Chains A and B, each alone.
Chain A
Amino acid sequence: MKLFRNEEERTAYFYLLPAIIVVFGFIGYPFVYSIYLSFTNAGIGKSGSFIGILNYLNLLKSSTFRQVLFNSLVFTIIAISIKMFFGMIFALIMQHLRRAGKLVKTLIMLPWVVPTSLSAIAWWWMYNPNYSIFNWIINKLGTDYRVHWLSLPKTAMLSVIIVNSWIGIPFFAISILSGLISIDIELYEAADSEGAKGYQKFIYITLPLIKPVLAVVLLFSTLMTISEFNIIYIITNGGPLFGTTLLSLYAYQQGISNGVISRGAAISIFIFPLLFIVSYFQLRMVRKGISKR
């Protein structure tokens, strides 16, 4: 009995072998093992015994965990909205640049290209309670008010949303820009000849035609935003009072810093279905578009 049905299949599996090793060996096995861990009470020094869904029940009962879930929701929704809105504005502006367009594009992409763990350090320094440059600027503009960027739960959440947006807007902007560029100019010309105003052109021509791009970018960015870790870890470490703790940070703190690895695994597993649902829709769009032979 031949293992492979035809040459094409054999080729495919040869090519896929390294990827399969990575995915199954380094991802699949650890994943399954973590799932198992989440059903135990393993911790430092004890391999633990099976306790069923007790970890999950305890998490749902915990007010801190519920707050973390809420934080993740708030963070994702607000950050994505900001990024989408400003990404669109940036893209519209860039569309109308002729000279120096390339330079501007390069500069605008920088926040997204640069590793987050390094730029977060700069933002952390800018938000410093004693020396914040933002507070200094605000003071110069007249008021005596001092924003407590990292000291109160609500403002701290705002602060990290700002950083996440700073990093993510370029991605939206560039993708939307590419979508804008690919729209046929003739459509606009036709609309012009019928006396359409600027905003009408935008609503009836531009928006519908970039919807596909928006959808893809939106879903991809949602995945990345929900699992944000570096920014929070560096700037607030989840504080104050769990105000900026998101799911992945909480999983890390409980599982690894606190040593209760079974709990950490359970929290991590909560992230998974969220991402799966979001990406299911994206996958549908991708599948529609892939052209097979």
Chain B
Amino acid sequence: MKKFNSLIKIFIVILILVWTLFPFYWMLITSVKPKADIYDQKLNPLLLYGFTNEHYRYLFEETNFLIWYKNSLIVATSSTIITLIVSYFAGYSLSRLKFRGSSLLGLLIFIAYLIPPTLLFIPLAKVVSILNLGNNIAALILTYPTFLVPFCTWMLMSYFSTIPYELEECAFIDGASRLRVLFNIVFPVCKPAIITVTLFSFTLSWGEMIYALVMVPSTMNKTLPVGIRSELIRGDVFFHGPLMAAALLSVIPVILIFSFFTDLYISGLTKGAVKY
């Protein structure tokens, strides 16, 4: 009976994994399928009848894929760092410090999170041009925190509240300054939340499309999502092979980072929620 149970369990797990991973498999297989095979309706599309690197070659040699990759890396890393610093300090002070206006500020930051990007679009573009950053990825580095900071602050706030205050109390009694406490005591303990916030910001910046689409149109400055969609689709001709290859290569860094920090990420994400 027990064996049957575990067989069923394994079967269900396999089903779940197929559902979860199939799109990735499909990306992979399309990216190495010869072009004729991709569009040949008589062949079994799940199998490979030939292998080609023509799509990857096209991607690297005839598009600016690597440049877009570099741009996305710069934008995502910078936005993440800025967001991390800003939210860490903000989250800590909102959660730990007592001061006038703290509830109001907390509320405002949360409301800021609710404001949809389409609403901020044009005014932000105006701000960007006043700062003379039109068509420059710095524009994105400045505007991405607008949707990253509110959420990350809020998440860190929740996580801080699950850390017992005694830790800091002890340190204060021992004469540590607040800053020292922030870095040496609190930081190590909230590593999971830091990881979560970092990964979250990185992923969101990496995949952001709308601001990048309009604020950075030059092919040399484009980020990945924009470049992939705009230059692998020319008018009414689609390059599905390179499209899938590009999509696959673009998700790999995120997957890699995530797989190193899975446990911490998960606990950072859920600890705040579970405590309620």
Contact = CB atoms under 8 A, between A and B. Distances in A.
Q: A and B, one complex?
A: yes
| Interface size range on A against B | 35 or more
B31 to A, nearest CB: 10
A110 B99 contact: no
B266 interface: yes
B131 to A, nearest CB: 11
A115 B254 contact: yes
Contact of B158 (A20, A121, A227, A289): A289
B17 A251 contact: no
B93 A12 contact: yes
A166 B258 CA distance: 18
Nearest to A108: B20
B274 A30 contact: no
A217 B270 CA distance: 9
Nearest to B109: A23
Contact of A15 (B16, B90, B116, B262): B90
Nearest to B115: A31
What's the dominant secondary structure at chain B's contact region? helix
B145 A125 contact: no
Contacts of A5: 99-100
A30 B112 CA distance: 11
A256 B121 CA distance: 9
A293 interface: yes
Contacts of A175: 269-270, 273-274
Given A115-B250, A116-B207, A252-B210, 11 more contacts: A15-B92, A19-B149, A118-B224, A166-B19, A166-B23, A230-B207, A233-B209, A248-B118, A255-B121, A256-B118, A286-B158
14 contacts: A11-B97, A15-B93, A23-B112, A26-B127, A115-B208, A116-B207, A136-B45, A170-B20, A174-B269, A213-B274, A217-B273, A265-B122, A276-B114, A290-B158
